[in-house]
Structure 1
């Protein structure tokens, strides 16, 4: 597997929070590269009706490990983030879930949580993650990541705040402090895990930093004349979705309106185990449920 391929597989799907796939004009997106789907087990997911009672929207963002020619909606997932959006306060909460978390998959049995996309598509993945956190997502956002670098470059790069310096000899080095990243370096920053003390857990935290950087940049440009409208019209020609045009436009505004100062995040930590010869993560289910309880009403996480 090439270094570039390894990087692309682990870019955070939580770019959904930033709304990049919806609001970046002229981004090169194709139907087999990105999808935004309603989850059938969720209730009240019509964004057009949110002003009449539903204030919190939940989006499960996930990367697909599909190879060229494979159905990205029925393969193993990657970089899982359950995102809560508050339409009234413009707050957002991001719960990162390690892809190797060993859980019960409805109708299947126990396996890594990312395998539920392979077994039953976005609906089953959404149900499995929802069972872990205690909150079912309204939408599932899936992508192959192949256009991520272009989109970060299209918005002028992003700024992240890196707490510690780290180096991966195969991928790259990053100093501590405030960093401005282009598309390729944002990919690399999201990829590295081996030199990080917390491994996958710390990588998920870095993915959240990239999410914040993208969302801040998109929010800074959302007031540009026609920015969201052009993006939605362009993506409507290429995006695989079961949302109506009005829902998609509303969705873009909801994402772009998130206040970066009101974004909180936690990663579901746990232990490690060897099950049937495979290394897996044993998630802290109690913590995952606590995060869900904290975020369900106001899209805010109090502590991790």
Structure 2
């Protein structure tokens, strides 16, 4: 009963915010949540919701939906079992982009916005996302601060002369907003570069989910978070769809989360370093997770 009341409250907050927050009260747009338009039906389980989460490195004044994405994670959530999975895509993966020949996969956001990026990632993995979620790094940092930081397990020490000179130690870490952001972005000091960075992004996502779940029963915690997101978000979703996504996230069981990163080889195209993704592996992850949001083995 307690959980039902909480879910209904979240739904009420979403509905009220969508109706009563006037444009003049909405702060700067830091989040874009769009529904992916599909030309034809896709064989995906109705119990699984797929969201492509994108971190945009847009500078102030730039349109974050038409820059190059810095973080790409295809996240599936099973509303029936509570399982969830994240498939990490290195941002420099060299892939065909519909209507634009081949390029780094994150260039598809620049060329055609969230819709084209969703289609391009979907073509690689074999699962077209239902939604694309784009956020600026500044809002991500503020969000981590608002939930009291997150905990991650770091497998190896690493640093960055510009972003984090003293670096991150190996082991259990508590990260505030800035540290969570740079933990997700650093790649040059990592053994496997883009691949390890994508894995670190998944550790941060898991940390966020754990932190929110741990505080979810505190009076007003979820409601304040939802309202804050609404104030900074532009979306074409209805309150009912936002409510459905809120339900899916609330039902994720931390013990049923799996993460994999699409691997590849390093190449050079036109003088630029790129990742040549293992397409067969990407499709295997997609085939494995399509029906139940679970990957049995990376």
Q: Within the alignment, does 1:99 sit opposite 2:96 as a pair?
A: no
Q: Given the alignment of the two structures, is residue 252 of structure 1 paired with residue 242 of structure 2, yes or no? A: no
Name the structure 2 match of 1:150: 142
Q: 2:86 aligns to what SS in structure 1?
A: strand
Distance 1:238 1:163 in 2: 34
1:280 to 274, 280, 287: 274
Which residue is equivalent to 1:299? 293
Mean alpha-carbon deviation: is it higher for 198-207 or for 240-249? 240-249
Query: Which residue does the alignment assign to 1:133?
Result: 125
How far did 1:276 drift?
Answer: 1.5
Alpha-carbon RMSD: 2.2
C-alpha deviation, 1:121, in angstroms:
1.1
State the match for 2:74 in structure 1. 82
Residue by residue over 1:240-289, the C-alpha shift from the partner in whole angstroms, topping out at 9 and shown as x without a partner, is 00111232133123213211111111111101111122211100000000
- Taking the aligned partners of 1:151 and 1:239, their CA distance within structure 2 comes to 13
- 1:40 maps to what in 2? 37
Deviates more, 1:85-94 or 1:156-165: 156-165
Partner of 1:168: 160
Q: Which of the pair has more CA radius of gyration?
A: 2
- The residue that corresponds to 1:6 in the other structure is none
1:15 corresponds to:
none
2-structure distance, mates of 1:31, 1:126: 24
Structure 1 Cα separation of the partners of residues 143 and 226 of structure 2: 14
Point out where structure 1 has 5 or more consecutive residues left out of the alignment: 1-21, 24-28
Is 1:148–1:183's contact at 8 Å kept on the other side of the alignment?
yes
Q: TM-score, normalised by structure 1?
A: 0.84
Q: Compared with structure 1, are the counterparts of its residues 42 and 94 closer, same or farther at alpha carbon in structure 2 (3 Å cutoff)?
A: farther
Q: How many Å apart are 1:231 and its aligned residue?
A: 3.0
CA distance change for structure 1 residues 190 and 42 in 2, over 3 Å: closer, same or farther? farther
Aligned with 1:62 (options 40, 54, 60): 54
Q: Which residue of 2 aligns with 1:242?
A: 236
Q: How does 1:262-273 map to 2 (within 5 A)?
A: 262-273=256-267
**1:90-239 maps to which residues of 2 (within 5 A)?**
90-170=82-162, 171=164, 172-239=166-233
The 4+ residue runs of structure 1 with deviation greater than 4 A are 42-45
Shift of 1:37: 0.6
Shift of 1:235: 3.0
- Secondary structure at the residue paired with 1:82? strand
Shift of 1:225: 3.1
How far apart are the structure 2 equivalents of 1:189 and 1:296?
Answer: 29
Scaled by the length of structure 2, the TM-score of the pair is: 0.85
3-state SS, counterpart of residue 123 of structure 1? helix
Paired residues of 1:100 and 1:280 also in contact (CA < 8 A)? yes
